Amino acid sequence: MYSSCVSTSDRLIESTRDLLWERGYVGTSPKAILERAEAGQGSMYHHFKGKHDLALAAIRRSAEELRAAAEEVLGGPGTPYERVAAYLRRERDVLRGCPIGRLTMDPDVVASDALRAPVDETLDWLRERIAGIVEEGREQGQFAPSLDGEEIAALVVSTVQGGYVLARASGSSAAFDTGVRGLLSLLAPRSDPPAP
């Protein structure tokens, strides 16, 4: 599964990320982490203080990757509308859900200030980044002057996270795609309707 050039620490973090996404905090046992990481007993405690410390490293890495993927399209070329559209339409494993958003439903993550912090910080960063793009679009006359950047940013993030929930419930990405198309039709400049 892992190449020999991947460090034990990285294998443990990546295995924990996958297990948190699949099973949540409680379902991610040290034994399951070690098995998936193909690591020997005691490896986790050699590199980390314990499961909580390892989970925190895994959540932070997931948060960093989410930010990098979002920034790639939000900071890319195009008008503000095109950048928001690129974020909404970027390739995702819709039926698997969001590795960060799913953690908000995990009672053990939410109950821990340390584990919840990177989740909250990432979602805050995303809303602020999108709000700035919406404000940029307003200043350029692309978005209606009545639009509030913070409100639209919250709507964009809610559409993505809610789209994951609807897609998983139905077993189809159609609900996610419908939500994205609906939001883009509301945001589209009159001269630039969204693509089908």
- pLDDT tens-digit series, residues 51-103: 999 999 999 999 999 999 999 999 999 999 999 999 999 999 999 999 999 99
In this model, does residue 194 exceed pLDDT 60? no
User: What local confidence, expressed as pLDDT, does residue 43 receive?
Assistant: 87
User: Which pTM value belongs to this model?
Assistant: 0.89
Which of 62, 61, 12, 56 minimizes the C-alpha distance to 33?
12
- Token pair listed for 173: 């990405």
Q: Taking residues 183-191, report their average pLDDT.
A: 86
In this model, does residue 113 exceed pLDDT 60? yes
Structural contact between residues 116 and 72, judged by C-beta atoms closer than 8 angstroms: no
Structural contact between residues 142 and 80, judged by C-beta atoms closer than 8 angstroms: yes
Residue with the bigger pLDDT between 35 and 193: it is 35
Which of 26, 19, 6 minimizes the C-alpha distance to 59?
19
User: What local confidence, expressed as pLDDT, does residue 193 receive?
Assistant: 46
DSSP annotation string for 103-143: GGG-HHHHH-HHHHHHHHHHHHHHHHHHHHHHHHHHHTTSS
Q: Taking residues 39-51, report their average pLDDT.
A: 88
Share the mean pLDDT of the chain. Answer: 92
Measured between alpha carbons, how far is 169 from 171 in angstroms, rounded to an integer?
Answer: 6
In this model, does residue 2 exceed pLDDT 70? no
Structural contact between residues 167 and 176, judged by C-beta atoms closer than 8 angstroms: yes
Q: Taking residues 25-34, report their average pLDDT.
A: 93
Structural contact between residues 24 and 80, judged by C-beta atoms closer than 8 angstroms: no
* Residue appearing with tokens 């692309």: 142
Residue ranges of the domains in the chain?
Answer: 8-187
In this model, does residue 1 exceed pLDDT 60? no
CA-based angle 96:111:63, to the nearest 5? 45
User: What local confidence, expressed as pLDDT, does residue 4 receive?
Assistant: 56
User: What local confidence, expressed as pLDDT, does residue 196 receive?
Assistant: 53
Residue range 114-147, pLDDT digits in tens: 999 999 999 999 999 999 999 999 999 999 999 9
Class of domain 8-187: mainly alpha
Measured between alpha carbons, how far is 135 from 83 in angstroms, rounded to an integer?
Answer: 13
In this model, does residue 192 exceed pLDDT 90? no
Task: List alpha helices for the chain, DSSP H.
Answer: 8-23, 30-37, 43-47, 51-74, 80-89, 107-111, 113-139, 149-170, 174-187
